[in-house]
Amino acid sequence: MAPSNQRPTRVPQSMSRYARALELIPGGTQLVSRRPNRVAYGVSPIYAARAQGARFWDVDGFEYIDWISGIGSILLGYADPVVDAAVKQQIDRGLGYSVNHELEIELAEELCRCFPSAEMVRYAKCGGEACAMAVRIARGATGRDKVLFCGYHGWHDWYLAANLDAAASLNAHLFPGIEPIGVPTALAGTAIPFPYDDLNALAELLDQHRGEIAAVIMEPLRSEWPAEGYLAGVSQLAGEHQAVLIFDEVSTGLRYGMGGVQGRLGVTPDLTVLAKSLSNGYPMAAVVGRRDVMAPAARMFISSTYWSDPIGLTAALTTLRECRRRQVSEQIESFGARLKVALNTVAAEIGCPVVCSGTDQHPHLAFQLMDSLQRSQVTTLYIQEMAKRGCHGYASFYLNAAQGDLELQQTTAAARATFQIITQALESGAVADRLECDLQQDAFRRLVQ
Ligand SMILES: Cc1ncc(COP(=O)(O)O)c(C=O)c1O
């Protein structure tokens, strides 16, 4: 991805590394959310040098508050001393043993204590991989093929198969314009999206595919709470159709409490997928679930060398215990509520047409502009000006427990200056002139809010 013109850049070291990456790495990055067109290309950092607590330093020497928290994978803060000390101790005991380690059992016991749906546990390393595992288990347990889904669940064939079917295209739900290149066409019709917070739509799909649905997999929420009774309704419908209900709590999980969203809302799925919110940045994932659904997995071929890795097990176990000890979800929730109030107060004082809403755990900004191009320009201008003031993020906030008063103050001051620039630019019709980068691209259009 080259910039549309040769503007001077604020981050030359990042830009030169990215030019090399594009030569060597198809797509430039390993994760779409780390592509520089997600933020202010040429202004925002592309390469980090190190991170600590709520902050990171880029290869150009700038310091940033990280409002993306490792795309959600950092919950306690970067380089958390307790988690890292436990991991370092484990490194000294060796890795990759030829036999098993009892940490597998210890973490499974802890997960079963925390998550209402957990009676048995399997491990993986990534969220998408664990979703694929959960879908395999559901298909194996029910003997059915089709899957209804709602939200983002990774890159695997079972999910991207939805884009093979023009009528049920992921275009409206994931990346606009994504092609299911390399996904077997034989999978067409096996993954079908359903809209969030719409029980009738789900009921109709279940009726239409009666007796064929193995699983209903969904993010229980993304950044808004569901309507009262919605998740209970989904659970009831899935039960009536003998479909396995899977909550993908990869991004929510411990952020919403020690029992995840299911613990908060009192709706227990059959299976739960956990990953990014589990292990403070160390690769680790789990599928947990009810014994009768999980047990058939013993007969399925679900097997990988690195799933037993004691680093991930140690990181997850220590993160879980630290989240409980430090009451992390409560802390994040009250911090998010303060952040929303602070940003809304500044916006009102300045008269900037923006509202900060969403759950307290995952606030987001929405610029109240009718014209979609103008909205996109203003969102990019926001990201650009916040980056110049040491705040790295999208127009949404992934919180972690290392963010505190200092980050709140610095971000509110940066937002004040940024909202002023935006308001003046809107008044003078000069938004495009203020942009020092191409328009930011939204990586995901999600089914859930
Ligand atoms: C809800 C959800 N499911 C699955 C995934 C995929 O996880 P990973 O990127 O670890 O494969 C993500 C990642 O953003 C996610 O948010």
pLDDT in tens, 25-48: 999 999 999 999 999 999 999 999
Query: 3-state class of 357 per DSSP?
Result: strand
Q: How far is the CA of 250 from the centre of ligand 1 (A)?
A: 6
Domain final residue pick, 267, 292, 326:
326
Which of 64, 152, 256, 382 is labelled catalytic? 152
Place of tokens 């928290």: 69
Are 364 and 247 in the same domain? no
Give the model's pLDDT for residue 7.
Answer: 79
Which pLDDT tens digit goes with each residue over 271-326? 999 999 899 999 999 999 999 999 999 999 999 999 999 999 999 999 999 999 99
Does the residue 420 lie in any domain? yes
Contact 317, 109 (CB under 8 A): no
Last residue of a domain, one of 326, 344, 367: 326
Kindly state whether residues 291 and 413 are assigned to the same domain.
no
Active-site option among 276, 309, 340, 394: 276
Supply the pLDDT for residue 443: 56
Domain hosting residue 22, numbered range = 15-78+328-434
Q: Is residue 446 part of a domain?
A: no
Same domain, 136 and 216: yes
**Whether residue 446 has pLDDT greater than 60:** no
Residues 318, 340, single domain; the answer is no
Tell me, in angstroms, the distance from the centre of ligand 1 to residue 88's CA.
26
Residue 45 and residue 94 in one domain: no
Return all residues near 297 (Cβ < 8 A) that are at least 6 apart.
120, 122, 137, 140, 141
pTM for the predicted model, two decimal places: 0.95
Over residues 410-428, mean pLDDT: 98
Whose Cα sits closest to atom 4 in ligand 1?
153
What pLDDT score does 222 carry?
A: 86
Do 37 and 177 lie in one domain? The reply is no
In a domain, 383, yes or no: yes
**Nearest Cα to Cα of residue 297 among 121, 441, 149:** 121
For residue 117, the SS3 value is coil
Check if 248 is active-site: yes
Evaluate whether residue 425 is within a structural domain. yes
Domain with 408 in it: what CATH number? 3.90.1150.10
CB 348 within 8 A of CB 384: no
Catalytic, 157? Answer: no
Cα–Cα distances (Å) from 434 to 10, 38, 230, 354, 427, in that order, read 15, 18, 43, 18, 13
Q: Is the predicted pLDDT of residue 447 greater than 80, yes or no?
A: no
- Is residue 282 situated within a structural domain? yes
Number of domains in the chain: 2
Q: HSE on the CB side for 300, CA within 13 Å?
A: 18
pLDDT beyond 70 at 378: yes
Asked whether residue 266 falls in the same domain as residue 280, the answer is: yes
Ligand 1: residues whose CB is within 6 Å? 126-128, 131, 151-154, 219, 248, 250-251, 275-276
Q: At what angle do helices 405-428 and 372-388 cross, to 10 degrees?
A: 140
Please tell me whether residues 196 and 304 are part of one structural domain.
yes
What is the Å distance from ligand 1's center to 423 Cα?
A: 35
Tell which one of 135, 150, 250 to mutate to probe ligand 1, the residue whose CB is within 8 A of the most ligand atoms: 250
For residues 320 and 380, state if they share a domain.
Answer: no
Buried b / exposed e across 250-274, counting CB within 10 Å, b at 16+?
Answer: bbbbbbbbbbbbbbbbebbbbbbbb
State the average pLDDT for the chain: 94
Our CA angle for 416, 419, 423, nearest 5°, is 140
